[in-house]
Structure 1
């Protein structure tokens, strides 16, 4: 069987990689798990390994903190010798974080088959580092595993070959459904004096929201008004904790330390509503049937808007307060996209292993002139790859 390297570096990556790892190992593939080390503190890393039952990584790059450029360079430099040493048949990267970009670029230069889980998501907001990462990683990938029809449409519109694009569903949902019953057994509500359905959950971590004192202050004002209608609790991301004291914490907003996966899933499932700037939380609340207000002007998960479970409210206090008021009076209906059924990773494993078993693995060279340089796909590393 082939050797497949899976790369994860942050909390969302761990949740996405776990079902893929399980599905590949179930099919007897040799799986090498690499922890890129982008989230390196216990609350954002190791606790999720324990909660998810994710085995220890085979390699840990330990790259640590820094600017986006510094982290990218460190991860690339650390990942290159690991990739050369193991020489896998394929590398699978997930999501849109710095580690995803860095390891994808190294893999692309190596000529090894690269697969991107969560391909095709687009916010079209180029001020978000994640949007740059998504577009670049897709451009250098061989297999594009899309979570939803809108992602497939984006990839077709950008000129990718149909053979590269596979609609597989959402691996985050695989993990959620596999762990929901355990999460409901958590005592996180009792530990924090909360009652199911009687609080709203807040998460903030996007640089555009927490690094700008004016933006953060505006959001705190809006949250203070919402807290008059419904008590709020906020799990404090390390990025946000450093800045909240300066902006002021409104009455009615209770701060909680970073939560492990099971505790956070329990908080989401039992909340009356969720206010967030997280893409993953938009998806999880859709599956859980919990109304979500997204504190951004754009989203790479428009399917959650189409389902009616999520509303973009930006940072305008009046929009936020108005939307929260409407939800409290008339909650939206619960709907879930097709293929968000807990079996996305199984589809990914089958497609990837079939691809690697093919005697010739084609990479199309006849794509439309829609590449980053205007001359076509910039990542045509080879017309065909012979079986390794």
Structure 2
């Protein structure tokens, strides 16, 4: 069996590391195409190194463009590489790379396997929401991480080819947590003690492109009762500089650091008091580690974490108050499977 996998962004590298390992064990021939959507070494290369992800056979180096230009150029280049059609096209999540791969495969009549299918924020203003909806409606195999994702697909009339397998991020955490504990020195490097700091990530345009909103976020970080460790996305750093907000980063209460490796991120997530983020995947990682999460968005595709009380959607101006008044839920039920999603995905593909 031959599978072409499209990757382009940090979360996809992490997910693919466990799925690609399962493919290798099963003798599946996988061709990896890296679109280059995340091109910075701290957002891309380091994940291939840390997670032993096979190096891409092709690197398209397409990045720093608007959505239409990026997706179009990716489609053009991906199609050029598919003269020898694979049995399946495998795509992950909801990026422009995901959409480009799915559209090319659909037009070339290559069946599509979508990993992390069925997620919905119900906000079509988010490019990611458009990408995931279109990809789900093109795919022949839809690997859903949660019961809610399955229900969302059913609500849109998608029932054939849907498989509830759990979340490959659970696989990754279980696989790499011990390695992170052994090899990461990020806590010692920044003199961080367990449960004595907050962890924050901010990268979405809804937060970074609005000076008032971004100012509220950074100001809130200075008002919390413990330091905030803040790995800054390159795009966020550029906006902070452009909007002349760098003075916030000089505050003693903010530990501003460059983007970190996945292993360092696991070490920070497992040791922090709580997580402040606008990322989708980090909301889920917070839950898996039993850390309260405060999500700087109006909606989330991981609604189940909100429903059971571990995740709160907050506005920047209410962040410090929400953290101060948070009551830790008494239960943390298993939501994302048993850590065998990659094995299930591989077996389903082989059975077909």
* Band the TM-score falls in, shorter-chain normalisation: over 0.9
After TM superposition, give the deviation of residue 291 of structure 1 in Å: 1.1
The residue number in structure 1 matching 2:124 is: 126
After TM superposition, give the deviation of residue 197 of structure 1 in Å: 1.1
Distance 1:214 1:176 in 2: 35
SS in 1 for 2:248: coil
Distance 2:200 2:304 in 1: 21
After TM superposition, give the deviation of residue 98 of structure 1 in Å: 0.8
Indicate conservation of the 8 Å contact 1:107/1:114, yes or no: yes
The residue number in structure 2 matching 1:56 is: 55
Distance 2:70 2:334 in 1: 35
Distance 2:330 2:73 in 1: 46
**1:263 corresponds to 2:289:** no
Equivalent runs, 1:180-329 vs 2, <5 Å: 180-185=177-182, 186-226=184-224, 229-245=225-241, 246-247=244-245, 248-249=247-248, 251=251, 252-315=253-316, 317-318=317-318, 320-327=319-326
After TM superposition, give the deviation of residue 30 of structure 1 in Å: 1.2
Distance 2:281 2:85 in 1: 31
The residue number in structure 2 matching 1:335 is: 332
After TM superposition, give the deviation of residue 284 of structure 1 in Å: 0.6
Indicate conservation of the 8 Å contact 1:307/1:337, yes or no: no
Indicate conservation of the 8 Å contact 2:314/2:322, yes or no: yes
- Structure whose CA Rg is larger: 1
The residue number in structure 2 matching 1:177 is: 174
Once the two structures are superposed, residues 339-369 of structure 1 have per-residue CA deviations (whole angstroms, 9 ceiling, x without a partner) of 52210011111112222xxxxxxxxxxxxxx
**Normalised TM-score (structure 1):** 0.86
SS in 2 for 1:64: coil
The residue number in structure 2 matching 1:347 is: 344
**Normalised TM-score (structure 2):** 0.95
The number of equivalent residue pairs is 346
After TM superposition, give the deviation of residue 12 of structure 1 in Å: 0.4
The residue number in structure 2 matching 1:147 is: 145
Of 112, 115, 118, 2:113 maps to 115
Which 4+ stretches in 1 moved above 4 angstroms?
Answer: none
After TM superposition, give the deviation of residue 306 of structure 1 in Å: 2.6
Distance 1:213 1:289, change over 3 A: same
Distance 2:6 2:122 in 1: 25
Indicate conservation of the 8 Å contact 1:308/1:335, yes or no: no
Indicate conservation of the 8 Å contact 1:34/1:61, yes or no: yes
Is there any run of 5+ residues in structure 1 with no aligned partner, and where? 356-388
Distance 1:345 1:33 in 2: 16
CA RMSD of aligned residues (A): 1.4
Of 120, 125, 136, 2:134 maps to 136
Distance 1:78 1:232 in 2: 41
Is there any run of 5+ residues in structure 2 with no aligned partner, and where? none
